[in-house]
Structure 1
Amino acid sequence: MHLKHLLLIASLVLIAACGSKKEKEEVVDENLSETELYQQAQNDLNNENFGSATTKLKALESRYPFGRYAEQAQLELIYAYYKSQETDASRSAAERFIRLHPQHPNVDYAYYLKGLASFDQDRGLLSRFLPLDMTKRDPGAARDSFNEFAQLTSRFPNSRYAPDAKARMVYLRNLLAAYEIHVAHYYLKREAYVAAANRGRYVVENLQETPAVGDGLAVMIEAYQRMTLDELATTSLETLKLNYPDHPSLQNGQFVPLEEEDDNRSWLGKATLGLIESKPPLPPGETRANQDIRRMYEEARQEIRADLKQGEETREAVESADRKPKRAWWNPLRLLD
């Protein structure tokens, strides 16, 4: 029942969102001068009427492509899209501005908003209403956001937006590392020990200074022990003891695996590390595919329930990192009025 209720809520939210997008677009008076159109767009932005501001800024850019406010309108349009939660449009507008004006004195603002759009895109629609665990979701947009903030901080280290970008990069780096550990434990549960060890090693080698490095070492130890690679397991264990003596997997100096090994395999499966395994015959009319689909469905239900219960800490972390940007403090074109 919980899964059905969740799907119903998601459907209602999506229907409401689609309905709001179908509102008739505002018609902009064709007799407005460039200055009047720009001032109206500014008033809409100040009043947080971002949909109307977007329409006027697009009209301003199309009617006066070489006017005194053209570049400023393109920059303000990125912000208006972002505040309207149109993240794809905001990123596209930012990419266009960067391509057309790479030497603009305020191009760092376009890089910053592009990173913010990807940052919010990773959260998705449902996460605005439900406390979902971000470490268990596809981190594609998080990686994009991290790379875009990295471009900003490397090209414009003295930008006024660099400190906030660096703070968000720390959060995103921790999020990506936690996701790798989540996937590694998934592999451990399914006895895919090589894949689990590779995920743990990736965190240790490439995501240093994140809280998940100790977890990555613990995953490596557990995977190596399951594969009876004693030398690698011992080396990883010594590293864990030296750098993370208080890690939860260490009890009285001894390593305690997190995942219980389901050792119900046949002697042939044990001898071949699971590469060759004899399985009991299936009931009449049953297939392995049907069993796998039912198992995956039940696991998905359990994960959704767990996500809904544990979301408070993750939501607080996101909210602390999610400091919404203000409009650009500069507007040199106003000096021309």
Structure 2
Amino acid sequence: MLLATVAALAAPLGACANAPNFGNLFGGGVDSASLPDEPAEKLYNEGLALQNRRDWRRAALKFMEIDRTHPYTEWAKRALIMAAYSFYESQDYEETINQSRRFLQLHPGAPDAAYAQYLQGAALYDQIPDVQRDQTRTERALVVLDEVTRKWPQSEYAIAARRKIEVARDQLAGREMTVAKYYLERRQFTGAINRYRTVVSQFQTTRHVEEALARLVECYMALGIVNEAQTAAAVLGHNFPDSQWYKDSYALIQGQGLTPREDTGSWISRAFRRITG
């Protein structure tokens, strides 16, 4: 995915430069020997050499030296995005975000702008926490990655961003399911319904929606709201007829002498019509 970026950045260099090995993105100390008056091309080649040795931290600092000593040049422009990538490989995600943002501020119309935006999202995505923890970083990753798909929909980065978006959305749905389970275990059915409703309304493409519908059947039956329970079961059966969750929900409804029956005025029915209709 990065081959085009690598080729564009490395092609103008002298014969002494080796092609950088970027590794698989999708998925040291300060070099005091660098003097301010060293040519930008020499510093750039040294940065590439450090990348080839997978000395990512020193490579990033070498590229940043170009930005400091040769500002507002084409070399500095190239070095800034290379520094962001090197920080990413060294797992310094905050610096990845900082340098990517700076690149976008200075060069919003550059060919590598999509890559810089994607790097930000990848850095946030790689820090997504367990579903038991706060998901603010997951939400931030979604916002940044979504911008990649909106601004550069035909780029290879948009394809990778969409894959990460699906995983991040699944993570947020999982968080809602975890909280809903907490309420359900304490028979706080209204609180559980609110969380399951979020999954059904906002995260229908995730793997959690089948269970969310089944749990809505359970909660509504417990509260005696039979109409919504029947609707949840009917929508579940229509969209996931072979699901074990549907079989369990059908048995629960049938045990009360009822059958799944969709009320088209229910929020559940409207939510699925909005997505599929």
Shorter chain as normaliser: what TM range?
0.7 to 0.9
The answer on whether the counterparts of 2:117 and 2:144 sit within 8 Å (CA) in structure 1 is yes
Equivalent of 2:218 in 218, 222, 226: 222
Question: What does 1:143-292 correspond to in 2, within 5 Å?
Answer: 143-249=139-245, 250-251=247-248, 253-255=250-252
- CA offset digits 1:55-77 (Å, max 9, x no partner): 11121111111233011111111
Are 1:113 and 2:122 counterparts?
no
Q: What is the CA-CA distance between 1:252 and the residue it aligns to?
A: 8.6
Are 1:28 and 2:28 counterparts?
no
Question: What does 1:44-63 correspond to in 2, within 5 Å?
Answer: 44-63=50-69
Q: What is the CA-CA distance between 1:159 and the residue it aligns to?
A: 0.9
TM-score computed with the length of structure 2 as normaliser: 0.75
What CA RMSD, in Å, does the superposition of the two structures yield over aligned residues? Answer: 2.0
The answer on whether the counterparts of 1:28 and 1:59 sit within 8 Å (CA) in structure 2 is no
Are 1:122 and 2:122 counterparts?
no
In 2, Cα distance between equivalents of 1:35 and 1:24: 21
Are 1:39 and 2:36 counterparts?
no
The answer on whether the counterparts of 2:218 and 2:249 sit within 8 Å (CA) in structure 1 is no
The answer on whether the counterparts of 1:185 and 1:219 sit within 8 Å (CA) in structure 2 is no
Q: What is the CA-CA distance between 1:165 and the residue it aligns to?
A: 1.5
Aligned CA distance change for structure 1 residues 252 and 76 (closer, same or farther; 3 Å): closer
The answer on whether the counterparts of 1:82 and 1:90 sit within 8 Å (CA) in structure 2 is yes
When the two structures are aligned, how many residues end up with a matched partner?
224
The answer on whether the counterparts of 1:75 and 1:97 sit within 8 Å (CA) in structure 2 is yes
Amino acid at match of 2:31: E
Unaligned stretches of 5+ residues in structure 2: 1-27, 254-277
Q: Which has the higher contact order (CA 8 A, sep 6+)?
A: 1
- CA offset digits 1:17-69 (Å, max 9, x no partner): xxxxxx65331331422221111111111221111112111211111112330
Are 1:65 and 2:62 counterparts?
no
In 2, Cα distance between equivalents of 1:44 and 1:24: 13
TM-score computed with the length of structure 1 as normaliser: 0.62
Amino acid at match of 2:193: A
Amino acid at match of 1:26: D
Aligned CA distance change for structure 1 residues 246 and 179 (closer, same or farther; 3 Å): farther
The answer on whether the counterparts of 1:237 and 1:255 sit within 8 Å (CA) in structure 2 is no
Aligned CA distance change for structure 1 residues 68 and 238 (closer, same or farther; 3 Å): closer
Aligned CA distance change for structure 1 residues 246 and 135 (closer, same or farther; 3 Å): farther
- The residue that corresponds to 2:263 in the other structure is none
Equivalent of 1:74 in 69, 80, 85: 80
Q: What is the CA-CA distance between 1:160 and the residue it aligns to?
A: 2.0
In 2, Cα distance between equivalents of 1:252 and 1:147: 35
Are 1:88 and 2:85 counterparts?
no
**Matched-pair identity in %:** 28
Amino acid at match of 2:238: L
Q: What is the CA-CA distance between 1:96 and the residue it aligns to?
A: 1.6
Question: What secondary structure sits across from 2:181 in the alignment?
Answer: helix
The answer on whether the counterparts of 2:217 and 2:249 sit within 8 Å (CA) in structure 1 is no
- CA offset digits 1:190-222 (Å, max 9, x no partner): 222212101111111111222211111122222
Q: What is the CA-CA distance between 1:87 and the residue it aligns to?
A: 0.7
Amino acid at match of 2:33: V
- The residue that corresponds to 1:319 in the other structure is none
Aligned CA distance change for structure 1 residues 221 and 245 (closer, same or farther; 3 Å): same
